[in-house]
Amino acid sequence: MSKTMSKKTEIAQAIETDDFDSLLGIQHVAEPDKTAFLFLSDEGKAGKSTAAIAFTTILRKLNKTVDAWQCDPDHMKLYYGFGKRDASGTLISKEAQVPSDCGYLNIRTESFKLVNSLKSPAKYKIYDLPAASIDELPEIFDSSDSFLQAFVNNNTKIVFCVPFINGIDSLLAVQKLKNLFCGVNSNAVIEFVLLLNYSMMIDESETLAGLDSAIKGMKEKVYAAHIKTKFTPGFENIIDYTEDGPNRDWFSILGSLDETSKITMGKFLKDYVDTVKAVY
């Protein structure tokens, strides 16, 4: 058989296969061209907002177009860090903020804003959701399928970013997400980033055992991000963002830190740079 005939046969077979699948109602999910990173957990003080800040900082440092959204009205670290401020350093009103800096929406009362935000052409979107809001999402959006369909309609992959610091609450959060959303909508592309913050682990061996249980049998892509940097005294205050500010980019303050904090910050940034580059 000639190469030309062979090529024609391959094309014909591909067309026949696609036509047959369509008759069966099988839809092929194309790889979405946008990605939404949703930061959420089932416990407070687990490093969720710190991770959202890190992803926003690093993606923008890599010159990626990133929309950032503060969705938790009670813990506003992302908003404090990236929200636009006036000449005096005061945050401008929430209504005037834009996601290219940091937009604001209350996920529990303004879910329509999240749906509308997905229409933005920004390739990457960051959503810092409230702790303990996992169970609420299907109710807020009427159903798990409706929630997922909003992302499907806007050609956006969902990446659930979950702090993993123990083998109980952290494991439960992942299991809830699996049960609520995985396998619900065949057109939704879902992935997981499990953020193992070693500085917050009480029992490292128990946590790592819980990680094995979390990812066992999962069909979705799972990336275990090992944030191994141990926080030195005072380091948490250095990376913290406050309402009053000034809140400077972590990379920009590196040179002004004392030697111990500089070493810690360098390791911390590398851990997150490696993580972001692996999943974006």
- What is the pTM (predicted TM-score) of this model? 0.89
Lowest mean pLDDT among 22-36, 227-241, 250-264: 22-36
| CATH code (residue 183) | 3.40.50.300
> Can you tell me which residue has the tokens 């391959």?
10
What's residue 120's pLDDT? 98
Residue 243: which domain range? 31-279
Nearest to 58 by CA among 247, 257, 240, 250: 250
Domain presence at residue 151: yes
Asked if pLDDT for residue 121 goes beyond 60, the answer is yes
**Sequence-separated (6 or more) residues with CB below 8 Å from residue 245:** 80, 85, 89
What's residue 15's pLDDT? 45
Burial class of residue 63 (count of CB atoms within 10 Å of its CB; 0-12, 13-18, 19+)? exposed
Domain presence at residue 9: no
Domain presence at residue 94: yes
Residue type, 237: N
Domain presence at residue 271: yes
Could you give the residue ranges of the DSSP H alpha helices within the chain?
3-23, 48-61, 77-82, 111-117, 137-140, 144-153, 169-181, 204-215, 235-239, 250-253, 259-279
Asked if pLDDT for residue 4 goes beyond 70, the answer is no
What's residue 14's pLDDT? 44
Domain presence at residue 218: yes
Domain presence at residue 2: no
Copy the structure tokens of residue 16.
Answer: 């026949």
**Mean per-residue pLDDT for 233-240?**
96
What's residue 79's pLDDT? 98
Domain presence at residue 86: yes
Maximum pairwise Cα distance, the chain: 77
What's residue 27's pLDDT? 53
Residue type, 201: M
Q: How far is CA 175 from CA 156, 192, 271, in A?
A: 22, 12, 25
pLDDT in tens, 126-142: 999 998 899 999 999 99
Mean pLDDT (the chain, rounded): 91
Domain presence at residue 237: yes
pLDDT in tens, 175-218: 999 999 999 999 999 999 999 999 999 999 999 999 999 999 89
**Sequence-separated (6 or more) residues with CB below 8 Å from residue 77:** 49, 50, 52, 53, 128, 240, 241
Q: How many domains does the chain have?
A: 1
Q: In what order do the strands lie in the sheet with 66-70?
A: 103-104, 66-70, 124-128, 34-39, 156-163, 190-197, 221-227
pLDDT in tens, 8-59: 444 444 445 455 545 655 455 568 999 999 999 998 889 999 999 999 999 9
